[in-house]
Amino acid sequence: MPALIPMRSRVRIATLLALPLALVPSMAQAGSKTGDGASLGDAQGGTKGRNITVQTKVRTTVNGARSTARTGSLSSADSNWTPPACWYEPAFSPKEIQATVKAWRGMDGIAFLDGIGDIIGEMLDQRYKNGHPYKNYNLDKQGEGMFWAAAVNPNRKDDPEAMSCDKPPFWVDEGQPPNEPLAVSPQVLAEYAYDELPVPGTEIEMAPAGRSTVNLPTWVWLDKARFKKLSVTASLPGTGLSATTTAEPVSLHIEPGTADAQTYPASGNCAINDDGSIGEPYAKGKADRTPPCGVSYQRATGSDGPYSLRATVTWKISWTSTDGDGGDLPDGTFGTTQDVAVREIQSVNR
């Protein structure tokens, strides 16, 4: 029966576990080894609350449109859905778990925490060596499975949901699906790739040049074919798991920044053309025409400064995977604002 740990030591343990795991170089550095040469493999770690986590091994690749400059991340059009904040993935072999415990036991030199390495090592040994529930780190199963551990989505590390993966590393036999709903899967990879889509900015062309004029249409367009279909593939090396998430632009929504304005079309939704362009470029002689995409301001800007016109692109999101799974994910949106000054004038020649 393990010795009882005094309350003061428990407080010290909780304090330590809240510190970055970089205090233990052998866990924080991929490919490092303990004194007896036991490798820690590719696992890179940290802590979330009191739980040991690993840096995800998921890799992403942008497919096509590699020159697209990422300016932000998509926001889900469904306010009740976000990409996953954490999941479980294969992390440690039996030898790596054994080496990890030895690394903790070898930790010293931390002020006010003398002997904490042995205390934590004892706690870990109770779980992974002494049969509660694992015996001798499962060394007899080396090569027959892995200990899975919590991985946090680096894009959502401050999301409260990142605390949902609160299980310590657990064993999964090779070829067997983990009995855990938050385990990494093709859909989890697809949803993670959602966060990695390199969406371009939405700064638009507006004309006539200079300030807009009250009650005269301002044309809005983009003829650089910036908004094209793009995709990201997320994969977990060594597992065969892979998923590709594709984003296709479907519309641009204009919000003039004031109620004293009329948009064209009235809905404010401008279609994205087949070539990725938006609207129609302004040219001399079009001043009296209604633009296919644009806005007409009914009040001039004043001392409060220019209006903030917001242009938001909606992207249709779908995914496929190597095991045949796939489907749709919630539409994504990304928008930016730009200042528009509007002048009051009774007549103008253009």
What total of structural domains would you count in the chain? Answer: 2
Same structural domain for residues 34 and 142? Answer: yes
Same structural domain for residues 331 and 239? Answer: yes
Report the C-alpha gap between 230 and 250 in whole angstroms. 12
Q: What is the pLDDT tens value at each position of the chain, 350 positions in all?
A: 444 445 444 444 443 443 333 333 333 333 344 333 333 444 445 544 446 678 999 999 998 654 445 567 899 999 999 999 999 999 999 999 999 888 888 776 555 566 777 888 888 899 999 999 999 999 999 999 999 999 999 999 899 999 999 999 999 999 999 999 999 999 999 999 999 999 888 888 888 766 789 998 999 998 777 788 999 999 999 899 999 999 999 999 999 999 999 999 999 999 888 888 899 888 887 777 899 999 999 999 988 899 999 999 999 999 999 889 999 999 999 998 999 999 987 554 55
Question: CA 315: distance to chain centroid?
Answer: 16
Residue 193 lies in a domain: no
Strands 326-340 and 307-321, bridge-based pairing: antiparallel
CA neighbor of 150 nearest in space, from 58, 48, 21 = 48
Alpha-helix residue ranges (DSSP H) falling in the chain: 7-17, 25-28, 94-105, 116-128, 186-196
Helices (H) and strands (E) in the chain, counts: 5, 19
CA neighbor of 251 nearest in space, from 268, 233, 232 = 268
Report the C-alpha gap between 173 and 335 in whole angstroms. 45
Q: Cβ distance 191 to 329 under 8 Å?
A: yes
Tokens of 84: 């996953």
Task: Determine the structural domain holding residue 104 and report its residue range.
Answer: 7-56+83-184
Tokens of 137: 């780190």
Same structural domain for residues 155 and 16? Answer: yes
Same structural domain for residues 167 and 222? Answer: no
Which residue, 149, 184, 219, sits at the end of a domain? 184
Q: Which of left, alpha, beta for 49 (phi over 0: left; psi -120 to 50: alpha)?
A: left
Same structural domain for residues 107 and 241? Answer: no
Same structural domain for residues 130 and 266? Answer: no
Same structural domain for residues 42 and 124? Answer: yes
Q: Is the peptide bond before 94 cis (omega within 30 degrees of 0)?
A: no
Residue 313 lies in a domain: yes
- According to the model, what pLDDT value does residue 346 have? 59
Same structural domain for residues 46 and 150? Answer: yes
Residue 224 lies in a domain: yes
Same structural domain for residues 94 and 39? Answer: yes
- According to the model, what pLDDT value does residue 63 have? 85
Residue 70 lies in a domain: no
- According to the model, what pLDDT value does residue 329 have? 98
Same structural domain for residues 14 and 100? Answer: yes
Which residue, 184, 217, 247, sits at the end of a domain? 184
3-state class (DSSP) for residue 339: strand
Question: CA 130: distance to chain centroid?
Answer: 38
Residue 280 lies in a domain: yes
Residue 334 lies in a domain: yes
Same structural domain for residues 131 and 275? Answer: no
CA neighbor of 294 nearest in space, from 201, 224, 207 = 207
Same structural domain for residues 144 and 229? Answer: no
Which residue, 138, 154, 184, sits at the end of a domain? 184
Residues whose CB falls within 8 Å of the CB of residue 174, separated by 6 or more in sequence, listed in order: 143, 144, 145, 146
- According to the model, what pLDDT value does residue 51 have? 60
**Residue 36: Cβ-neighbour burial (10 angstroms; 0-12, 13-18, 19+):** exposed
Residues whose CB falls within 8 Å of the CB of residue 186, separated by 6 or more in sequence, listed in order: 241, 242, 243, 321, 322, 323, 325
CA neighbor of 9 nearest in space, from 111, 105, 115, 126 = 115
Residues in the chain: 350
Residue 270 lies in a domain: yes
Output DSSP code: residue 39. Answer: B
Residue 190 lies in a domain: no
